[in-house]
Amino acid sequence: MNYTTQMDAAKKGIFTKQMEEVVKNEAISKEKLIQKIAEGKIVIPANKNHKNLIGIGVGEGLKTKVNVNIGVSEDEYSEIKELKKVEKALEYKADAIMDLSIFGDTKKFRKKLIETSPIMIGTVPMYDAVAKYGKNIKDMTVDDLFEVVEEHCQDGVDFITVHAGFNRISAERLDNNKRLTHVVSRGGSILYQWMKLNNKENPFYEYYDRLLEICKKYDVTLSLGDGLRPGSIKDSTDPSQIQELLFLGELTKRAWEENVQVMIEGPGHIPLHEIVTNMQIEKKLCHGAPFYVLGPVVTDIAPGYDHITAAIGGAIAASNGADFLCYVTPAEHLRLPDIDDMKEGLIATRIAAHAADIAKGIKGAKDWDNAMSKARGELNWAKMFDLAIDKEKAIEYRKSSMPENDEVCTMCGDMCPIKRIKEVE
Task: Say whether 127 counts as a known binding-site residue.
Answer: yes
pLDDT at 350: 98
pLDDT for 236 equals 98
Q: Is 269 annotated as a binding residue?
A: yes
Dist. CA 194–CA 136, nearest whole Å: 9
Q: What is the pLDDT of residue 425?
A: 78
The answer to whether the annotation marks 13 as part of a ligand binding site is no
Q: Model's pTM, two decimal places?
A: 0.96
pLDDT at residue number 97? 98
pLDDT of residue 131: 83
pLDDT of residue 135: 86
- Pure H helices in 219-364: 239-257, 275-285, 306-319, 339-360
What is residue 421's predicted lDDT score, i.e. its pLDDT? 86
Does the annotation flag 163 for ligand binding? Answer: yes
Contact of 67 with 39, CB cutoff 8 Å = no
Mean pLDDT by 10 residues, the chain (425 residues): 94 98 97 98 98 98 98 85 95 97 92 96 94 89 97 98 98 97 96 97 98 98 97 98 98 98 97 98 98 97 98 98 98 95 98 98 97 96 97 96 90 89 83
333 is in an annotated binding site: yes
Q: Does the annotation place 227 within a ligand binding site?
A: yes
- Domains for the chain: give ranges and CATH numbers: 6-360 (3.20.20.540), 379-424 (no CATH)
Residue 32 CB neighbour total at 10 angstroms: 15
350 annotated ligand binder: no
Residue 185 in marked binding region: yes
Contacts of 70 (CB under 8 A, 6+ apart): 82, 85, 86, 89, 97, 98, 99, 100, 113, 342
- For residue 375, the one-letter residue type is A
Quick: pLDDT tens for 389-401.
999 999 999 999 9
Q: Is 152 labelled as part of a ligand binding site? A: no
Q: What is the dihedral of CA 269, 270, 272, 276, to 10 degrees?
A: -130
User: Which is nearest to 131 in space by CA: 144, 117, 119?
Assistant: 144
69 is in an annotated binding site: yes
- Does 226 carry a binding-site annotation? yes
Residue 409, marked binder: yes
pLDDT for position 76: 77
The average confidence (pLDDT) of the chain is 96
Asked if residue 412 belongs to a known ligand binding site, the reply is yes
**153 marked as binding residue:** no
Residue 307 marked ligand-binding: no
